[in-house]
Structure 1
Amino acid sequence: MSGLLLRALSRFMAKGNLVVLLPDGTRYELGDGSGPRVVLRIETAHAMRTMLADASLGFAENYMNGEISIEEGDILDLLQLAFINGNYEHATGPLAALKSGAAYLFRRLQQINTAGRSRANVHHHYDLSNEMYRLFLDPDMQYSCAYFEHPGQGLDEAQLAKKRHIAAKLRVQPGQSVLDIGSGWGGLGLYLARNLGASVQGVTLSDEQLAVARERAVGEGLDDLVRFDLRDYRSLDTRFDRIVSVGMFEHVGINHFASFFEKVAELLKDDGVMLLHTIGRSGPPAATDAFIRKHIFPGGYIPSMSEVLPVIERAGLVLTDVEILRFHYAQTLKAWRERFNAHREEVVALLDERFFRMWNLYLAGSEAAFRWGDLVVFQFQLAHAKNALPLTRDYIANEEEKLRQLENSESVRPPPGLNVAA
């Protein structure tokens, strides 16, 4: 068995400097010796068997369970080796390649995200522990890609810049109604109400996020402007001046792309604007990684541009702008993982050691995919009318500058009597 595993790893590891220690004490050096050395210890025969059966998921689950450890280097260093050597699953043999192909063919069966299943999927990830999320997120609890305006900018400032950038693209006016699909812990909705006097309705499927968002709205005295509901966006029937969705589309699933954009078209006023911020692929479509699908984001799917644009067109919406954030999420994830690891003891106390190892792998793997793989972030700006926004993109920078001034002044309030969208 060890011979089979080593042959598979040898085919895969053409570059880099990897040392593998097996349960019987044997030591193998793989790669061309370039770069920093990574020492991987495989503790059990069970770990070897499961890695041969399914390289990606087998490694992930054995790492989570402590049957694989990294004695020199870091999990991110190991993942970098995987990316610079190409696709691990295809490189480890025809069986793994066959499994990968089958996963792509059957991906639709893994993403039947009905309202009930969507609620369960959200609960699996977002209702873990608000305290755990507070350990590594910024104070506003932004759990999506930050916007780094310049090198060296800190995470907290970059998350504020992200909200500012999105608000500028929406060009929200005081008193306008805004729908926030997947409103999380409420930060973006509160930002739009506080600084632009928007009337915001946020919808989420997370009980824990909802409780925090509502508490924050009351605490800031913005509950007359911002309403958060535990509700699926598909049940809404009110039209809005603006719609925003950040980090939610990844949970829609390819089966539901058409219904998502058809619902957006239905809810968006004729002169309205939508901003969709989502993880995407710069390459062709692919299946969701087995580890991510099973342990982190059940029902999740990251789309390619080619899968989204035709659906937008068929929904009758106009794509007025698209921006691709390439390395912003890699920087965000780096900051998150540094904070997460700095609070290891607290995470283990809240959950357990296996959870800590699982999430350390998730954060490192995600950073690696954005840094060396094909993951990026798309910001799609949509409208019904081509004239819904100014002719050039200059207005975005102008709006951002106005928002910088507003962030440091008293909140903008709408005319008396204006109610939150029903």
Structure 2
Amino acid sequence: MTDRQDWTKFAEGAEILTHDNIARVSKGLPFKARLALRGLLQMQTGSLAIQMPDGRKVVVVGKMEGPKAAVTLRNWKLAYRALLTGTIGVAETYMDGDWDSPDIVSFLQLFLINGEAADQYANGTGGIMQVVEKIRHWMRGNSKAGSKRNISAHYDLGNDFYKAWLDPSMTYSSALYSTGANDLQSAQNAKYRALAEATGIKPGDHVLEIGCGWGGFAEFAAREMGCRVTGLTISREQLVFAEERIRKAGLSDRVDFRFQDYRDETGVYDKIISIEMFEAVGEKYWSTYFTKLKDCLKPGGQAGLQIITIKPEAFAKYKANPDFIQKYVFPGGMLPTPEHLLALSRKVDLSMVKDFGFGLDYARTLAEWRDRFWAAWERVKPLGFDDRFKRLWDFYLFYCEAGFLSRNIDVRQVVFARA
């Protein structure tokens, strides 16, 4: 929790949980509840205040300073489900109202920071359930047909849904605040400008955008950089919106959009842009994607990518255990490490010439989206979304923010050059 007074108030009257009193405190509790409490004693960093279903409160204190988090358990399902299916279980019990927290970001951040202790509590020990989720993730692979299904699962929730809480540019990727922007729309434009300039886009260039979203970058680049843009999307909803926005902007002579998989592109371009699309490619197709980058670049051309990455030491566990995001938000997705990007580019003789990380800006972007989503909920709900969906979306935004704050994941702008 960010406010020390709020945490102190929540923890008032709580007993500090130790190895000496764990047997007494957990007496009479279900087996997996006792197991979870014992696992929490391994926590090294931060503090966690827990209000148990019977009303009693305990506090677990790590050896080092860190996030102060709190959780109210309405039953012990969080303990059961987290042990079985990791973050999927944590998310589903939150969606079902089995637990709550006054600061869910701090609660999730606490476990990301604590690593091995988190393994015992939030990364799952239920082998068969982990296998089931891994098979489900594999079945959502990003073949051309699979990619269309997976993208539709997220982006075709409806343009009105996203329009209700995104900024007016309809940009659904990290903003860039660290250059001095103070509001979301300005920070999104700053992100576009930073990537365009890093990639070396000039007036008259023909730019391919792989994954054009609702057309925000294409409009910016055509208007501000004086280039031509060809944008690819496999979301029907986004295509309709993007074409209309470009028509209204009077830029139809400089921008065209296609409903097309990137693997089917045969043109050659001065520059390529791809903003937070690589995460949806799927590990099986990473090499295919980088080969396509090279094939579609003219000699001397550059490709500018904005990509979410995961720290190398977390990748093996992340790959082995599909998480909440992969099941509910981006089916078929997989985050690379920075080292993966370097190896993939070298394999096709592309040189990495720039690499700029700004993960804390993504945490701020997510917090801004969450505030806007909450403010817009009464307009969003009549579109056909229920309270369980709201809690799913809340958890998604909380979970991602915690990941960036804990430095478990990062976002970076990377530029690759063809000789």
Q: Give the shorter-chain TM-score range.
A: 0.7 to 0.9
Q: Distance in 1 between matches of 2:77 and 2:103?
A: 23
CA contact (8 A) 2:218 2:229 kept: yes
Task: Show the counterpart of 2:40.
Answer: 12
1:308/1:257 CA distance change after superposition, 3 Å: same
Between the aligned partners of 1:63 and 1:349, the Cα distance in structure 2 is 22
Matched pairs, number: 382
Q: Where in structure 2 are the equivalents of 1:305-344 lying within 5 Å? A: 305-344=338-377
Are the structure 2 counterparts of residues 222 and 69 from structure 1 closer, same or farther at C-alpha, using a change threshold of 3 Å? same
- Indicate conservation of the 8 Å contact 1:186/1:213, yes or no: yes
Cα offset for 1:51? 3.2
Structure 1 residue 169, shift from structure 2 partner: 1.3
The Cα offsets for residues 150-189 of structure 1, whole Å up to 9 and x where unpaired, read as 4672211111100110111122222221100000000101
- Aligned-pair distance for 1:279? 0.3
- SS of 1:122's partner is helix
Q: Does 1:41 align with 2:41?
A: no
Partner of 1:62: 93
Matched with 1:181 is 210
Deviation at 1:21, TM superposition (A): 3.8
Cα deviation code 1:36-94 (max 9, x no counterpart): 86553333455553333224221210111222233xx2211321332343356512399
Instruction: Tell me which of the two structures has the higher relative contact order, counting C-alpha pairs closer than 8 angstroms and 6 or more residues apart.
Output: 1
Partner of 2:197: 168
TM alignment of 1:205-220, pairs within 5 A: 205-220=234-249
| Residues 14-413 of structure 1 aligned to structure 2 (within 5 Å) | 14=43, 15-23=45-53, 25-32=54-61, 38-44=69-75, 46-70=77-101, 73-87=102-116, 89-92=118-121, 96=125, 109=138, 112-150=141-179, 153-284=182-313, 285-286=315-316, 287=318, 289-350=322-383, 351-385=385-419
Q: After the TM superposition, which of the residue ranges 319-328 and 263-272 deviates more from structure 2?
A: 319-328
The 3 A distance-change label for structure 1 pair 9 and 54 is farther
Mean Cα deviation higher: 343-352 or 175-184: 343-352
CA distance in 1, matches of 2:288, 2:122: 38
Kindly provide the amino acid, as one letter, of the partner of residue 307 in structure 1: H
Task: Tell me how far apart the structure 1 counterparts of residues 122 and 144 of structure 2 sit (CA, whole Å).
Answer: 39
What fraction of aligned residue pairs are identical, expressed as a percent?
34
2:212 and 2:194 mapped to 1: Cα distance?
A: 17
Quote how far apart the aligned CAs of 1:103 are.
9.5
Contact 2:176–2:191 (CA under 8 A) maintained in structure 1: yes
- CA offset at residue 8 of structure 1? 1.6
Deviation at 1:7, TM superposition (A): 3.1
What runs of 5+ residues in structure 2 fail to find an aligned partner?
1-28
Q: Kindly tell me: are residues 100 and 198 of structure 1, through their superposed partners in 2, closer, same or farther at Cα, counting changes over 3 Å?
A: farther
Q: What letter matches 1:363 in structure 2? A: L
Long gaps (5+) in structure 1: 386-422
Q: For 1:100 and 1:235, how far apart are their aligned partners in 2?
A: 37
Give the AA of the match of 2:356: E
- What is the alpha-carbon root mean square deviation over aligned residues? 2.8
Match of 1:396 in 2: none
Q: Using the alignment, how far apart are the partners of 1:137 and 1:165 within structure 2?
A: 20
CA contact (8 A) 2:355 2:412 kept: yes
TM-score, normalised by the number of residues in structure 2: 0.83
For 2:230, what is the secondary structure of its paired residue? strand
Letter in 2 for 1:113: N
Provide, for residues 120-168 of structure 1, a one-character-per-residue CA deviation record: whole Å limited to 9, x for no partner: 0100011112222122211101111111134672211111100110111
Structure 1 range deviating more: 124-133 or 98-107: 98-107
1:236 deviates by 1.0
